[in-house]
Structure 1
Amino acid sequence: MKRLLLISTALAAVAAACPSFAQDPADDTLPSNTLPEVIVTATRLPAIQQDTPGARVIDSRAIEQRGAVFAADILTDIPGLSVTRSGLGGVAQVRMRGATPGKTLVLVDGAPVNDASEPNGAYDFSGFELGDIARVEVLSGPQSSLWGSDAIGGVIAFTTREIDGVRAEAEAGSYGTLRHRLAAGVANDRYAFGAWVSHYTTDGISVADAADGNPEKDGFDSLTLGLKGRYAVSDAVKVDGSVRWTDSEADIDGFPAPTYDLADTADTTDSQSWSGVVGVSVTALGLSHRFSVSASDIERANNGDFASVYQADRQVYRWQADGAALGDRLAYAFGAEREDTAGSISTGASVDLGTSSAFGVVRFDATDALSVTGGLRYDATDDFGEKTTGRISAAYDLPAGFILSGAYGTGFKAPSVSQAVCDFCFSSVPVPTLRPETADSVEGAIGWASSDGRIDGRVTVYRLNVEDQITYFTAPITFDSYYINIAQARTDGVEAEARALLGAGFDLTLAYAYTDAVNATTGARLLRVPEHAGSATLGWSGERLSGALTIRAEGDQPDSGGVREAFVTANLNAAWQLTEVVALTARLENLADERYQQVFGYGEPGRSGYVGIRLRY
């Protein structure tokens, strides 16, 4: 209770410290006099965020304002997302609305990048650097009608940046940390081409069993390269493509004999991954067609007493056609996909899975105030049968700036590679035949925007049910171990968020989530999902100086081996624009030097500082 009061007080303190100010004129890199209308594109049909239940967008300005280096640094701002990281460079995974990490689909420029060789098919965000990212879109709740399997919890879609000019950054700070970025490109209406490189290295801290403070530091090194381009062959034909490659190495802690407890070791994990997409857009037959081929590949090696190497790759062939009718009151999209996935298992063998799909989405503006959107998708898996999923949502503009919206959707997730062949299973009896996991969710939201466009907010209430959830089971007497479908998992939650332009260059962003995620069979809380979490960011933009103070808090959460205690932490980021080209930057993290953990047993850095320089031409 004391910690929960501290969380509430911390969030309230930021809001109370911000009386109204007069807004100063600002250029287009700073907050304007009104909040912008945000458009979401991961919905297949572009949609207004406030009209789309469960949709959020983080743009490049928010990333820069926060001083976020990695995706895990900024995703914690999204209500309903639980981000867990086992130390600097350690595995970082996301749970959306209580769903396990393998139920969040991750896209980079439309290419799925989930790791098929990970036991649950989850994506590891630990090395995902944000230097080349223009925006992050998050769709919470089942999105299988849009994107198929792996999207029961939701979708996180990253869009890389189009560059016009030269951008460079360098930063140094605590724990021997160095960061460098360089990007260059040209962009106009006819064509664009750009390239970038980012490098991050740190000596790190000792993260194993933070309560005992083991002395060995766990370092991390990451290198990211990327290319992006487009070319308009004619008014009717356009081609585009992008590719992103990351190489990272992290020191990790292992489980040495004879106790097999987590402890300092010389273990490391190395990973190389790349993703890319090539597309052609054609206007023909009254429709806009897009044909694309995307691919992703990852190879990760764990070096230590339990050495292993895993590799996974995925290819997706997609066609989508967009159109409109009834004077643009009716918008629609439909198409087909083929996905082929391969992942290795503990024996070194590679296992193939595949799915053929067809989908359609329609949005109808029934009146100026009411819009209805519906989606339907058919997936035929090569190994686990067929599944049809759907989603319907509606938004209604009420008087006085209120927006009422709601959605009902279904989802499914086919067993992962490891689950399909029962990797790491040890059983004296035949193991059960697995069924795909299924889900349904209902949510309702009430939003509000002030008449002057300076304040908006939304409160969402939802329930997510997951049937036939797959889990690794160990029999209590025989100790046989294998995967099984359990009856049900359920999450009830409330998500609240608000933005405000306070004047004099100040802006405020608030987010809070109550997440009650339980095993509906036993009533036990699901692991690594805090019941209460929230953040508050107070930003300021002046003629030359800009900055942001972010306070983030999480309540207690159950974890493997114990309960991870609640924490409150704060970060400060600032930039001083010396000239139109040169800016100095500074970051202070964990201002109060809080001793805390995101994952039980893995400590996070204490108070730390970083200074840098940024060039834009």
Structure 2
Amino acid sequence: MRFLLTTTFLFLCCGLSAQEVPTLSTTTDEVLVSTTKFPQAAEDSPQYVTVIDSTAILAGGDLAMLLQEQAGVVINGAYSNFGKDKSVFLRNAGNQYALILIDGIPVTDPSALGGAIDLRLLSLDNVRRIEILRGPRSLLYGSDAMAGVINIITKNSDTEDPIGLHLRAAAQTHNTFDGAVSVSGSTAKVDYRLAYDRFQSDGISEAAEPAGTTDAFDDDPVTRQNINASLRWQATQRLSLRPSLRIADFDGDYDDGAFTDGANTYTNDLILPGLRLDYAADKFRITGNYNYAKTDRVFNSAFGAFEGRGRSHQADLAASFFPQEKLFYTLGTQLREERLQVNDPGTDAPQATTISPFLQLGYRPSERLSLEGGFRFNQHSNFGGQSNWSLAGILSNRGGLSWRVSVASAFQSPTLDQLAGPFGANPDLQPQVATSLETGVSFQTEDQHLKLHLTGFRRLISDIIVFGTNGYENQDEQRDLGLEFSGDYRLNKVLTVSGNFTHVSGTLRQPNVPRNVEVRDFPRRPGTTATLSLNYQAPKAFSARITTQYVGDRPDLLFNPDFSTTLVTLDNYVLVNAYLQYQLLKRQQLTLFADLRNLTDTEFTEVIGFNTLGRMIRLGFSVDL
């Protein structure tokens, strides 16, 4: 903290020059890169997309907390100890049904439960924007995109100069420090960026102390480091290449379980090299992407060490054609190869390969109507063939009103652990399949001071894989019905109100089991969430945002020492957060910020038997040189 204050004082002594800064908000008035294989104006897309821009990312501070504020998204564990696992519940679906993309490429971990990447590995320092697409998205992205995709789009150069330096440092409650440094630059042919960021915290005890205990539980510290390197080479006027490399590691302590202290450690390492190719001509565009994800996880406890090592290749190639202004079609294919590393040299490593050709078409018969559709066929090395489809349309008028409707299907392949793991493996498993119908209405005034959007959806997930008495099997189905509302209103030149509301209900049943019992309780998934923000933008350099977040009641399961479970209800709660920033010096070189979380120090529980962080104050600065 002394370093932070001293450095800030030195910069202040250099001179002050107030500059305007953008508002702290999310927006959908963008060019989208996730709905098709080429950039598309948001107003022309039949798919409604939430875009989190760079200023909202700056105010977000933490990826899990930032996503938690978006409509239809719940990040369980966002406010638990920094090392607690984070689960993404998108529209009431399980964590394994939300697909994380980095620069449009799926990033998975075959060694993890459900195959999802560990959210704790990812920081916001290298992120330029985030696009959230809700609903089935297997047409373009393949397996796992059943509830939607979250596309994390990384930064290129921070400057238009040949070389520039960016520094950021912050100190926070719980003896927490985070910082970042990056070197970047641009020329006529090349832009590049090399960045390093680090987060470390003493944290709190992950497990809550049971009532009546006399022994204080130990804190559970955590450290995360990220190295990001990228280079974009404009080889010709039409062709560009972008190699990239991400290296991340996450180390932390964790406890034995609910209300139980422990001296366990956890490490997770990720190496993610990638390559992107773009070729743009007058009537067609070619995009190619590849990444290789190497993940190594180790859990150390009193029972010994448990290792999980996953390897994943993801590649896609797509050609988009524009024979006329009103028509496009895209032909592409995706290759996905996954395997688990095993320690026994005599044991074959479980692996699976999926090859998926796809076709997407778009037609705009008039300025008011746009239609899109597509078909995808997936050939899996284990379960064989499976297909997905999508249809969508948008109808708009000159009064700022538009209506969207879409129907689509998606799938998730069985994980390697479910197919060939050591516990309950079943090589005859079939893919889980989702179908969804959604419709939405959007309105915005001509001056764009008022923007409103309302979406209703109905989704069916069938052949859900569960672990039963005979191991893994396709058995359950889940039906969800939901409503999402979002909007913002510019009150005057300095004040903007924005917010969202989500309500979803679901039913889980076993259609092929005698005396089927329906379940309407989904652990840790609230039926209702809402967020309301007031943004203040001064005429000069000061801006602020105060946000109120509501999370409704939700059930949870307490696992008892005798291996029985108890169903409990977690109370609803309201959090009040604030973010303030001030920019100084010429060219907006210095930014001071304060990030205040849970201002009222509300006591609440995200996971039964585990703590939450309480009130947090984070102070810091960033500077460009």
Alpha-carbon distance change, 432 to 612 in structure 1, aligned in 2, over 3 angstroms: closer
Question: Partner of 2:548 in structure 1?
Answer: 551
Unaligned segments of structure 2, at least 5 residues = 1-17, 511-516, 559-567
- Per mean C-alpha deviation after superposition, the further-off stretch among 273-282 and 55-64 is 273-282
CA contact (8 A) 1:301 1:308 kept: yes
Match of 1:598, SS state, is coil
Q: Retained in 2: the 8 A contact 1:595–1:603?
A: no
Q: Are 1:40 and 2:32 matched, yes or no?
A: yes
Could you say what secondary structure the match of 2:115 adopts?
A: coil
The answer for the alignment partner of 2:172 in structure 1 is 173
Contact preservation (8 Å) 2:19, 2:583 = no
| Contact preservation (8 Å) 2:337, 2:352 | yes
- 2:311 aligns with one of 300, 307, 313: 313
Question: 2:68 corresponds to which residue?
Answer: 76
1:57 equivalent among 51, 55, 67: 51
Q: 1:124 to 1:346 in 2, by over 3 A?
A: farther
Give the alignment partner of residue 158 of structure 1, picking from 152, 162, 166.
152
Task: Give the structure, 1 or 2, with the largest relative contact order (CA under 8 Å, sep 6 or more).
Answer: 1
Corresponding residue for residue 600 of structure 1: 608
Question: Who is 2:331 aligned against?
Answer: 334
**Aligned match of 1:482:** 471
Alignment of 1:527 with 2:523, yes or no, is: yes
Cα distance, 1:202 vs structure 2: 0.6
Corresponding residue number in structure 1 for 2:436: 441
Kindly indicate whether the alpha-carbon contact (under 8 Å) linking 2:497 and 2:533 is maintained by their aligned counterparts in 1: yes
Distance 1:362 1:406, change over 3 A: same
CA spacing shift, 1:263–1:103, aligned 2, 3 Å: same
Q: Is the Cα contact below 8 Å between 1:470 and 1:483 reproduced in 2?
A: yes
1:292 aligns with 289
> Could you say if the C-alpha distance between residues 116 and 34 of structure 1 is closer, same or farther in structure 2, counting changes exceeding 3 Å?
closer
The CA RMSD measured in Å over matched residues stands at: 2.4
Structure 1 residue 332: Cα displacement:
2.2
Q: Does 1:469 align with 2:450?
A: no
1:318 Cα offset (Å): 1.8
CA displacement 1:396-433 (0-9 Å, x = unmatched): 0035321110100011111011111254239xxxx683
8 Å CA contact retained: 2:27, 2:52: no
Q: What is the DSSP-based 3-state SS (H/G/I as helix, E as strand, rest coil) of the residue aligned with 2:114?
A: coil
Query: What are the Cα deviations for residues 438-470 of structure 1, in whole angstroms up to 9, with x where unaligned?
Result: 110000001110121111110100011001011
Instruction: For residue 35 of structure 2, give the secondary structure of its aligned residue in structure 1.
Output: coil
Out of 498, 507, 524, which is 1:509 matched to?
498
Partner letter of residue 487 of structure 1?
D
SS in 2 for 1:218: coil
- Which whole-Å CA distance do the structure 2 matches of 1:552 and 1:406 have between them? 29
Give yes or no for the alignment of 1:134 onto 2:128: yes
Question: Structure 2 CA distance, aligned partners of 1:589 and 1:569?
Answer: 8
Mark the CA change 1:32 to 1:411 in structure 2 (over 3 Å): closer, same or farther.
closer
Aligned-partner residue type, residue 117 of structure 1: S
1:532 maps to amino acid: T
**1:598 shift after superposition:** 2.0
Query: Cα offset for 1:270?
Result: 0.6
Corresponding residue for residue 322 of structure 2:
324
Deviations 1:326-378 (A, max 9, x none): 2x111222111211111257989731111011112111111110000112111
Contact 1:508–1:537 (8 Å) recurs in 2 = yes
Task: Write the distance in 2 (CA, Å) between the matches of 1:48 and 1:281.
Answer: 18
Q: What is the DSSP-based 3-state SS (H/G/I as helix, E as strand, rest coil) of the residue aligned with 2:96?
A: helix
Correspondence 1:192-341 to 2 at 5 A? 192-209=191-208, 212=211, 214-255=216-257, 262-283=259-280, 286-306=283-303, 307-326=305-324, 328-341=325-338
- Residue identity opposite 1:154 in structure 2: G
Residue type at the aligned position of 1:498: G
Distance 1:210 1:570 in 2: 25
Distance 2:554 2:355 in 1: 39
Contact 1:108 1:159 in 2 (8 A): yes
2:412 is matched with: 413
In the alignment, what sits opposite 1:14? none
Deviation at 1:106, TM superposition (A): 1.0
Alignment match, 2:98: 104
- 2:192, 2:232 within 8 Å by CA — same for their partners in 1? yes
Identity %: 22
TM score, norm. by length of structure 1: 0.88
CA distance in 1, matches of 2:444, 2:275: 39
Q: Secondary structure at the match of 2:350?
A: strand
String of CA shifts for 1:232-256, please: whole Å, max 9, x gaps: 111132211222111111111114x
TM-score by length of 2: 0.87
Equivalent-residue separation in structure 2 for 1:517 and 1:425 (angstroms): 28
- Answer whether contact 2:331 2:360 (CA < 8 A) is retained: yes
Q: Distance in 1 between matches of 2:527 and 2:582?
A: 38
Retained in 1: the 8 A contact 2:580–2:593?
A: yes
Deviations 1:136-189 (A, max 9, x none): 111111111111111111111111111223221111121101111111211245
Return the offset for 1:523.
2.6
Output the amino acid matched with 1:98.
N
Inter-CA distance 131–98: structure 2 relative to 1 (3 Å threshold): same
1:609 pairs with one of 614, 617, 625: 617
Instruction: Provide the C-alpha distance between the structure 1 equivalents of 2:40 and 2:393, rounded to a whole number of angstroms.
Output: 12
Deviates more, 1:211-220 or 1:195-204: 211-220
Which residue in the other structure is 2:514 paired with?
none
8 Å contact from structure 1 (residues 108, 275) kept in 2:
no
Which residue of 1 is the match for residue 15 of structure 2? none
Superposed CA deviations along residues 36-72 of structure 1, whole A, max 9, x for unmatched, are 72222111243344544342111111111x3x23311
- 1:383-402 correspondence to structure 2 within 5 Å: 383-402=382-401
Q: 1:33 to 1:338 in 2, by over 3 A?
A: closer
1:578 aligns to what?
584
Residue 529 (structure 1) shift: 1.5
Q: Structure 2 vs 1, CA of residues 531 and 415 (structure 1 numbering), >3 Å: closer, same or farther?
A: same
Does the 8 Å contact 2:245/2:273 carry over to 1?
Answer: yes
Deviations 1:476-519 (Å, cap 9, x if unpaired)?
xxxx4511212311110001101222223222220111011220
**565, 569, 577: which is aligned to 2:575?**
569
Separation in structure 2 between the aligned mates of residue 168 and residue 417 of structure 1, nearest angstrom: 42
Q: Which residue of 2 aligns with 1:119?
A: 113
For residues 291-313 of structure 1, give each alpha carbon's deviation from its aligned partner in whole angstroms, at most 9, with x where no partner exists: 33211111111111232011111
- In 2, distance between residues paired with 1:239 and 1:46? 17
The residue matched to 1:366 in structure 2 has which SS?
A: strand
- Structure 1 residues 569 and 196: CA distance shift in structure 2, 3 A: same
Q: Is the 8 A contact 1:109 1:242 kept in 2?
A: no
CA distance in 2, matches of 1:346, 1:54: 46
1:422–1:482 Cα contact (<8 Å) kept: no
